[in-house]
Amino acid sequence: MSCSFTEEQEALVVKSWSVMKKNAADLALKFFLKIFEIAPSAKKLFPFLRDSDLPVEKNPKLKPHAMAVFLMTCESAVQLRKSGKVTVRESSLKKLGATHSKYGVVDEHFEVTKFALLETIKEAVGEMWSPEMKGAWGEAYDQLVAAIKTEMKPSSSSS
């Protein structure tokens, strides 16, 4: 499967990521709070939020989780063209697929997450934001999701 991520898109992602990197922790939290604002029911997908009475933004487990997801998404986007495929560190795509299946993540969740991600980046980069940049991040995110979804499908299906 060839990667339809252009050099221009790569440059836009790399440029915006270099700006966002230093605020990654705050942006990551913002990104997740946006997800929950758009889709409050998504909170049910996170055991550490489900079993807690704390307000979401005060939950001590949210920030590290948000940071891990945000970093993985951004680093995967930055690497996309170089490696010609989606790469994630820490955990394998298989593990990500299994986790997303287990907690009942569905297509709408990925859509909400994409919207929240693009909004977060847009706010973070200010004047640098453009339709091209939005397209670049959108494409990188779609490729990551496609890779995760591939792993979510039961491997035994030989239809």
* Local structure of residue 42 (DSSP, 8 states): G
pLDDT at 155: 59
pLDDT at res. 159: 42
Question: 25 is written with which tokens?
Answer: 């922790």
Planar angle of CA 140, 145, 8, nearest 5 degrees: 10
Specify the pLDDT at position 3. Answer: 59
Read off the DSSP letter of residue 127: G
Q: How far is CA 142 from CA 49, 85, 91, 155, in A?
A: 26, 12, 19, 21
- Residue 59: what pLDDT? 93
Nearest to 135 by CA among 3, 2, 1, 12: 12
**For residue 134, is pLDDT > 80?**
yes
Per-residue pLDDT at 39 exceeds 90: yes
pLDDT digits (tens, 9 = 90+) for 50-95: 888 899 999 999 999 999 889 888 888 888 888 777 877 656 778 8
What domains can you pick out in the chain, each with its CATH number? Answer: 7-152 (1.10.490.10)
Token duo for residue 76: 């995967």
Of 55, 94, 87, 95, residue with least CA distance to 71: 87
List helix spans (H) across 21-106.
24-38, 47-50, 62-83, 93-102
pLDDT at 1: 43
The token pair at 36 is 């929950």
Which H or E run includes 61? Answer: none
Instruction: Give residue 90's pLDDT.
Output: 58
Contact 61, 48 (CB under 8 A): yes
CA angle 16, 20, 24 (to 5 degrees): 145
